[in-house]
Amino acid sequence: MLRRMLAATFCAALAVTTLPPAASAQVQAQAPAPNAAQPGAGTTLNVYNWSDYIDPYAVSRFQQETGIRIRYDVYDSLETLEGKLSAGRSGYDIIVPTSEPTFARLVRAGALLPLDRARIPNWTNQDPALLQRVASSDPGNRFGAIYLYGTVGLGIRVDRVRAALPDVPLDSLDVLMQPENARRLARCGIAVMDSAIDVLPSVLRWRGRDPNSTDAADLRAAEEALLAIRPHVRAIIASGNIMDALATGEYCVALTYSGDVIQAQARAREAARGVEIGYIQPKEGAQLWFDMLAIPADAPNPEAAQAFINFVLRPDVMAGITNHVRYPNAIPTATPLVNEAVRNDPNVYPTPEMLGRTFVATQLSAQAERARSRSWNRFRAGR
Ligand code: N2P
């Protein structure tokens, strides 16, 4: 419900977790007064970002410091983002596509504005080694700054899963993908995020196939694996709807993004109702992804967008974002400013050993994407 509200009109100066809608309307009425001394003051920046993916305080500070008002919409899958962009003239100034496949595709299609580094002096705060990792999607790092990164894995309700699977090590996608395990977990609830793009690579890897395979036999193997657990899956839903449900104990297992699980864990602890949530980064290889701050070529307010990117790349701002959303950022000088418990959580900042057991997605042909999406539809339908 809160997320829906944010989707409609998130005006940033709200304390996200507590303010009722009436209070948010009130805050919106207090949008920053235009200040002639600030370039861009009085204009609007249109941001389209993943749900539960920013520190609301960062948004309100940006508004206060620049006089630029933020209109904030959210999505919770790459499919939704791509759908919105493919219709053309999205009206957004900032989007946050994952480096592969969406961002790379936009780079190749000429759909993004090159970043003007002179306007983004904080660009150099980014870790060069991480920038190097995304350079295969964007040669020369011309079109995107790294926002946050993470993995795909399992959120589990620890005590229930232990009780249902007493002899199963909780370190692998086996917990969900072995049909016998899924059968035993069915009653306490299994959810899978609704995204062919971000689920199929992990399933291929679990089946011992190349996660980026375009081979029909590999795809069939992944689809068969998904269909085998389908009768036991209660919900194939938007990733944005999984977090709260996981936190309240509605599901025992959910396949989703790492930080969403850690946020659910934090919410469950706050609620203190005895729900303990854990994250499993699959030992057979987890998908590692990078989300990029980018500006659509037809952005109505590109100057404000560059100012926003520069602001977000500040170590203090980035540390606040990581503290809030539990995803790591690419700014080494932000790390000491991140809360100790968050900074030392290997499910937030994976250890080098854990990173060594990840893979990254690559570009697929349009034909291979369509085949994946057909497989996914059969999984959704259960046949
Ligand atoms: C945030 C989802 C994380 C983004 N709710 C996955 N790329």
Query: pTM higher than 0.95, yes or no?
Result: no
Which residue pairs from 1-5 have beta carbons closer than 8 angstroms and sit at least 24 positions apart in sequence?
3/51, 3/52, 3/74, 3/240, 3/241
Q: Which amino acid is at 269?
A: R
Q: Which atom of ligand 1 is nearest to the CA of 240?
A: 5
pLDDT for 39: 72
Q: Which domains does the chain have, with CATH numbers?
A: 7-143+290-349 (3.40.190.10), 150-287+358-381 (3.40.190.10)
The reply to whether ligand 1 has any atom less than 6 angstroms from the CB of 260 is yes
Output Rg (C-alpha) for the chain, integer angstroms: 20
State if residue 98 touches ligand 1 by the CB under 6 angstroms criterion: yes
How far, in Å, from the CA of 76 to the mean position of ligand 1? Answer: 7
What does the alpha-carbon distance between residue 70 and residue 62 come to, in Å, rounded to a whole number? 9
Cα–ligand 1 centroid distance for 167 (angstroms) = 32
Q: Name the stretches of the chain with pLDDT < 70.
A: 1-37
Identify the residue whose C-alpha is closest to ligand 1 atom 4.
Answer: 50
| Tens of pLDDT, residues 84-106 | 998 888 999 999 999 999 999 99
- What is the pLDDT at residue 363? 85
Look at residue 258 in the predicted model and tell me its pLDDT: 98
- Does the beta carbon of 223 sit less than 6 angstroms from any atom of ligand 1? no
Residues 34-58 have pLDDT tens digits of: 555 677 888 999 999 999 999 999 9
Best mutation site among 199, 291, 321 for ligand 1 pocket (most ligand atoms within 8 Å of CB): 291
**How confident is the model at residue 88, as a pLDDT?**
82
257 touches ligand 1 (CB under 6 Å): yes
Report d(CA 185, CA 182) in Å as an integer. 5
Ligand 1 nearest atom to the CA of residue 52, by list position? 5
27 CA distance to ligand 1 middle (Å): 26
Pseudo-torsion of CA 168, 170, 176, 182, nearest 10°? 40
Alpha helix positions (H), 230-363: 239-247, 258-271, 302-312, 315-325, 340-343, 352-356
3-state secondary structure of 333: helix
